């Protein structure tokens, strides 16, 4: 059983390898659930029918799929009739999957990833502030990002698989037990702390740099930097590409007047 | 020699890009990781870190969610650092020009990604037909083909971007008027503020504990 779990866990990394517009993650899902289907169905016709059932539309957050996969295995293992199985699978792979996708997007990609990135950014700004922008130990920064993010996400992914399998039909309640909302809030506060500290350190760093000066006046330059930060927050909904090009044209115009 | 370097760099870049969708999602495709990686490989980790930080914060909310395919964020981290380190190693702010020039390439990578996913539909339908008609199908082989397709399309894209993009980057940078060079040197320091603003926006609805009733 342990080998099967390990195999399913590794196979879940390939969930989106054949991502397509028609049925999205269906092939990856079938690939992940296949070892369990092979174990459940000894008859070849039944097994093929199960394979075809799982080639239906499926789309969720790739990490949260590790809750849906064991849930579908539990449905396949149950002694209920085929029609009920199909109905339950459809519920899990559409309604439940969408809810899990929203939770995964918000928690893993919206919060955990940003927090891990802000920790690394804080280190970059701090080393720059200390005047060691080319420190040989700078290679640690991306490793910190990967370590902070993956140590948490990989353990969660594995735990989802084990817990959802052992909880049987109670696996949907698993998310409620996690108290994700409070964890989300806490991680967001932590991330906000890092980005605020980085921004403040950066303003001080910018203030002391002569080569960064645009107007030749420290006060005016710092004011300009804070205004740029505030405008970037205010126009948060604007596409990043437009913001970048806008800043380039405004700075070019200011530079042109100086020349 | 240059061809060897470009081929090796394209293999590493394609592997990083595959992580975005096709395999794992370990965040190897994010600029905060791949820009310093390419900086380190090109011998200028400082520029890599700075550009990685800028691209990561500006495009912090850019992720492939559901059927929405955004511009290729890895290209925005990799291409400016590679071009800058390769052609103008002593001028780190040339990477800012690289970032502006990498934008159309990132959109091109997005279109290539869409094409690849259309081909994936054919792979999926072939698998279904095999199962339906012959009663057996090689699911592992289909996964391998999908993964290979992701890798090959990004490998070709990066070889093209490193060669052709690098050539355009070099020619254009040498033709830039002094006021644009001055602009780029200032943007090197202004872009982090733009990025921090974009990053701070994601906390717009956050309730702080001190301000709760």
pLDDT at position A220 over 70: yes
Mutation for testing the B interface, residue in A23, A52, A107, A117 having most B CBs under 10 Å: A117
User: Does A117 reside within a domain?
Assistant: no
A130–B contact, CB cutoff 8 A: no
A81 versus B32: the higher-pLDDT residue is B32
DSSP string, chain B: -HHHHHHHHHHHHHHHHHHHHTS---STTSHHHHHHHHHHHHT-HHHHHHHHHHHHHHTTT----TT-----HHHHHHHHHHHHHHH-TT-TTHHHHHHHHHHHHHHHHHHHHHHHHHHHHHHHHHHHHHHHHHS---HHHHHHHHHHHHHHHHHHHHHHIIIIIHHHHHHHHHH--HHHHHHHHHHHHHHHHHHHHHHHHTTTTPPPGGG--
Check whether residue A96 and residue A222 sit in a common domain.
Answer: no
Alpha carbons B89 and B47: distance in angstroms, whole number: 9
A209 φ/ψ sector (left φ>0, alpha ψ -120 to 50, else beta): beta
Domain boundaries, chain B: 2-211
**Rounded CA separation A125/A117 (Å):** 12
pLDDT at B97: 96
- Residues A55-81, mean pLDDT to the nearest whole number: 90
Return residues 116-175 of B near A (CB < 8 Å).
Answer: 117-118, 120-121, 123-125, 127-128, 131-132, 135-137, 139-140, 142-143, 145-147, 150
Q: How far is CA A120 from CA A139, A146, A148, B9, B49, in A?
A: 11, 9, 9, 24, 10
Host domain of residue A239: 212-259
Q: Give pLDDT, residue A133.
A: 61
Mean pLDDT of A100-109: 90
Number of domain units in chain A: 2
B26: nearest CA partner in chain A = A150
Contact A149, B60 (CB under 8 A): no
Q: Are residues A74 and A136 in the same domain?
A: yes
Indicate whether A78 and A150 sit together in one domain: yes
Chain B CB contacts of A144 under 8 Å are none
pLDDT digits (tens, 9 = 90+) for B9-50: 999 999 999 999 899 899 999 999 999 999 999 888 889 999
Of A222, A224, A233, the C-alpha closest to A195 is: A233
The whole-angstrom distance between A35's CA and the closest CA on chain B is 11
pLDDT tens digits for range B151-162: 999 999 999 999
Is A18's CB within 8 Å of B136's CB?
no
Touching A: B residues 32-71, CB under 8 Å: 32-33, 36-37, 40, 45-46, 49-50, 52-53, 56-63, 65-67, 71
ipTM score for this prediction: 0.91
Residue B80 vs residue A136, higher pLDDT: B80
| Stretch B82-100: mean pLDDT | 92
Say if B85 is an interface residue toward chain A (CB within 8 Å).
no
How confident is the model over A212-227, as a mean pLDDT?
Answer: 84
Distance from CA of B58 to the nearest CA of A (A): 6
The verdict on A167 and A224 lying in the same domain is no
Q: Distance, in angstroms, between B3 CA and closest chain A CA?
A: 26
Query: Considering chain A, what percentage of its residues have pLDDT values greater than 70?
Result: 93
Same domain, A140 and A48: yes
What's the pLDDT tens digit per position in A144-157?
Answer: 999 999 999 999 99
In angstroms, the CA A60 to CA A109 distance is 13
List, in order, residues 6 or more apart from A32 with CB less than 8 Å away: A8, A11, A12, A14, A15, A65, A69
Say if A214 is an interface residue toward chain B (CB within 8 Å). Answer: yes
pLDDT at B81: 95
Verify that A248 and A165 share a domain, yes or no: no
Instruction: Please compute the mean of the pLDDT values over residues A75-103 and round it to a whole number.
Output: 87
- Give the Å distances, CA to CA, from A141 to A43, A116, B53, B106, B170: 53, 10, 10, 24, 29
Q: Which of A157, A178, A199 finishes a domain?
A: A178
Q: In whole numbers, what is the pLDDT of chain A averaged over residues? A: 87
Contact residues, chain A, for B136 at CB < 8 Å: 48
Assigned domain for A189 exists: no
Q: Taking every pair of C-alpha atoms in chain B, what is the biggest distance, in angstroms?
A: 68
**Mean predicted lDDT score pLDDT of chain B:** 91
For the cut 80, the answer to whether the pLDDT of residue A170 exceeds it is: no
Percent of chain A with pLDDT over 90: 44
Q: Determine, for residues A114 and B182 on separate chains, whether the beta-carbon distance falls below 8 Å.
A: no
Distance from CA of B5 to the nearest CA of A (A): 21
Neighbour count for residue A235 (Cβ, 10 Å): 16
Over residues A161-179, mean pLDDT:
74
Confidence band of B109 (pLDDT split at 50, 70, 90):
very high
**B190 to A236: CB separation less than 8 angstroms, yes or no:** no
Interatomic CA distance for residues B150 and B156, integer angstroms = 10
Residues of A in contact with B53 (CB under 8 A): 120-121, 124-125
Predicted confidence (pLDDT) at residue A176 exceeds the cutoff of 80? no
Q: How far is B113 from chain A (nearest CA, A)?
A: 11
């Amino acid at each position: 059983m342990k080998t099967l779990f390990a195999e399913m866990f590794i196979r879940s990394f390939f969930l989106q390898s054949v991502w397509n517009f028609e049925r999205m993650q269906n092939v990856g899902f079938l690939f992940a659930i296949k070892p369990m289907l092979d174990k459940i169905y000894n008859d070849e016709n039944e097994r093929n029918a199960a394979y075809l059932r799982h080639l239906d539309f499926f789309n969720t957050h790739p990490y949260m799929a590790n809750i849906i996969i064991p849930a579908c295995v539990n449905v396949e293992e149950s002694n209920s009739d085929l029609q009920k199985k199909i109905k339950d699978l459809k519920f899990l792979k559409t309604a439940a999957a969408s809810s899990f996708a929203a939770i995964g997007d918000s928690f893993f990609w919206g919060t955990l990833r940003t927090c891990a990135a802000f920790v690394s950014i804080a280190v970059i700004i701090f080393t720059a502030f200390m005047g060691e922008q080319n420190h040989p130990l700078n290679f640690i920064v991306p490793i910190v990002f990967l370590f902070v993010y993956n140590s948490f996400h990989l353990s969660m992914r594995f735990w989802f698989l084990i817990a959802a399998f052992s909880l049987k039909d109670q696996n949907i309640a698993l998310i409620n037990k996690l108290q994700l909302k409070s964890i989300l809030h806490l991680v967001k506060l932590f991330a906000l702390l890092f980005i605020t500290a980085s921004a403040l350190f950066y303003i001080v760093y910018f203030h002391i740099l002569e080569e960064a000066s645009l107007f030749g006046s420290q006060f005016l330059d710092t004011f300009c930097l804070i205004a740029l930060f505030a405008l970037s927050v205010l126009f948060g909904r604007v596409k990043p590409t437009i913001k970048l090009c806008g800043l380039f044209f405004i700075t070019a115009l200011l530079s042109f007047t100086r020349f | 020699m240059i061809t060897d370097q470009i081929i090796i760099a394209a293999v590493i870049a394609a592997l990083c890009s595959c992580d975005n969708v096709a395999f794992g999602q370990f965040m190897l495709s994010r600029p905060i990781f791949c820009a310093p990686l390419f900086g380190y490989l090109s011998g200028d980790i400082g520029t890599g870190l700075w550009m990685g930080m800028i691209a990561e914060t500006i495009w912090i909310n850019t992720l492939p969610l559901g059927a929405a395919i955004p511009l290729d964020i890895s290209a925005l981290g990799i291409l400016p650092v590679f071009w800058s380190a390769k052609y103008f190693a002593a001028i780190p702010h040339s990477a800012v020009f690289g970032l502006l020039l990498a934008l159309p390439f990132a959109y091109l990578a997005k279109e290539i990604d869409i094409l690849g996913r259309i081909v994936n539909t054919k792979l999926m339908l072939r698998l279904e037909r095999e199962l339906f008609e012959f009663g057996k199908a090689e699911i592992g082989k289909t996964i391998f083909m999908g993964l290979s397709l992701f890798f090959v399309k990004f490998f070709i894209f990066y070889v093209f971007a490193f060669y052709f993009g690098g050539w355009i980057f070099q020619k254009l940078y040498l033709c830039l008027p002094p006021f644009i060079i001055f602009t780029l040197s200032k943007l090197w320091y202004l872009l982090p503020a733009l990025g921090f603003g974009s990053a701070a926006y994601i906390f717009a609805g956050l309730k702080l504990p001190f301000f709760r009733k």
